[in-house]
Amino acid sequence: MPTSVRGSKAELIHIEVDRRLGHEWDEWDGRPLPGLGDFSAPAGRFFRYAALTMTAAMGAACLLLFVLSPRLAALWAPLPTALWLGLAAFSLLSWLWFALLIASYYGRWLLLPEPLAERGPFLRLMRWTSQVSRRLGVRDWVEHAAVEVYNGLASRRGRKVGRGELLVLIPRCLSKTTLDGVLEVAGRYEVPVFVATRGQLARRAIRERRPRAVVAVACERDMVSGLHDVAAKVPVLGLTMRLPAGPCRDAVVDLEMFERWVRSYVQPNA
Ligand code: SF4
């Protein structure tokens, strides 16, 4: 609510803000979010947009090579042919990898090791797909689906860590009830909870505390950038939130799912 001080002095306008937006939401127009901030979407949506992203990237690479071919041939005649062959091989391998990723997610067996799946190229593909879906106006749903795929793969690795080796990262925007629930679950499993007000601080907490695994809570936008930066270094399970009051305030999480992710890393107290 704006307040002002008048008189001989200059007018002071003080705007009281009821929320501090994370930079991921800079362009939010203040209107309620679609579906009251519930961006649930099935994993298939990520795979479709990821395929579109890969096709667009390879199409752009082909176009660039086509345009540059005469100049490259002037440098060394066989160069364009070598690059076309390299591009074809890279494209073939990429699609093979993508097929194995899909088969791992939907099938019984994990066909790719972590460094070649959710802790490797998947993170880059997730980021690029997020950029493409942002331009198409479907970012949050596609990112939700991406986190589903990521968790689906990561949670099946069966990794266990000791007490105190797990870190829970939560954002500053949780509703009071949700925060109480999160702290109650974390207390039962003796897991330290760190409120990460910014992505940089979350990364600092990980650097300083050196956890062997992390359960992170964030909105889809923050989660995708956080996973991209951190998941290659430390195993993470991510829990996205609902934003019924708009971004960055009174966010709600599924506490059962939160406990499931914590329990997948550590056992509760006897
Ligand atoms: S996690 Fe919460 S505070 Fe951070 S950008 Fe998302 S909605 Fe805003």
pLDDT in tens, 45-71: 999 999 999 999 999 999 999 999 999
Q: What is the pTM of this model?
A: 0.90
pLDDT in tens, 117-159: 999 999 999 999 999 999 999 999 999 999 999 999 999 999 9
Integer CA distances (angstroms), 115 to 98, 167, 203, 266, in order = 14, 21, 20, 23
Q: Which two tokens stand for residue 268?
A: 């509760």
| Domains, the chain | 43-150 (no CATH), 160-265 (3.40.50.2300)
**183 sits in which H/E element:** helix 176-188
Residue 21 has what pLDDT? Answer: 87
Integer CA distances (angstroms), 165 to 187, 228, 266, in order = 14, 21, 9
Please tell me the number of Cα atoms within 13 Å of 267 on its side-chain side: 2
Q: Which two tokens stand for residue 266?
A: 């550590």
Counting ligand 1 atoms within 8 A of each CB, the residue from 139, 173, 174, 220 with the most, and so the one to mutate, is: 173
Pocket of ligand 1 (CB under 6 A): 22, 24-25, 171-173, 218-219, 221-222, 243, 247-248, 251
Comparing CA positions, the residue from 51, 160, 155, 57 lying closest to residue 104 is 155
In sequence order, which ranges of 76-118 are alpha helices (DSSP H)? 79-106
Rounded-to-integer distance, Cα 200 and Cα 228, Å: 13
pLDDT in tens, 161-212: 987 899 999 999 999 999 999 999 999 999 999 998 777 778 888 888 899 9
Comparing CA positions, the residue from 114, 90, 94 lying closest to residue 104 is 114
Asked if pLDDT for residue 116 goes beyond 50, the answer is: yes
Is residue 143 within 8 Å of 133, Cβ to Cβ? Answer: yes
Q: What is the CA radius of gyration of the chain?
A: 23
Atom of ligand 1 nearest to the CA of 21: 8
| Protein residue whose Cα sits closest to atom 7 of ligand 1 | 248
**Neighbour count for residue 154 (Cβ, 10 Å):** 23
The residues, ordered by sequence, that sit 6+ positions from 215 with a Cβ below 8 Å of its Cβ are 166, 167, 168, 169, 191, 236, 237, 238, 239, 258, 261, 262, 265
User: 79-106 vs 43-75: helix axis angle to the nearest 10?
Assistant: 170
pLDDT in tens, 2-26: 444 444 566 655 444 567 888 899 9
Q: Which two tokens stand for residue 60?
A: 């752009």
pLDDT in tens, 35-46: 999 999 999 999
Asked if pLDDT for residue 232 goes beyond 80, the answer is: yes
Residue 16 has what pLDDT? Answer: 45
Is residue 144 within 8 Å of 150, Cβ to Cβ? Answer: no
Atom of ligand 1 nearest to the CA of 247: 7
**Tokens 């980021």 belong to residue:** 127
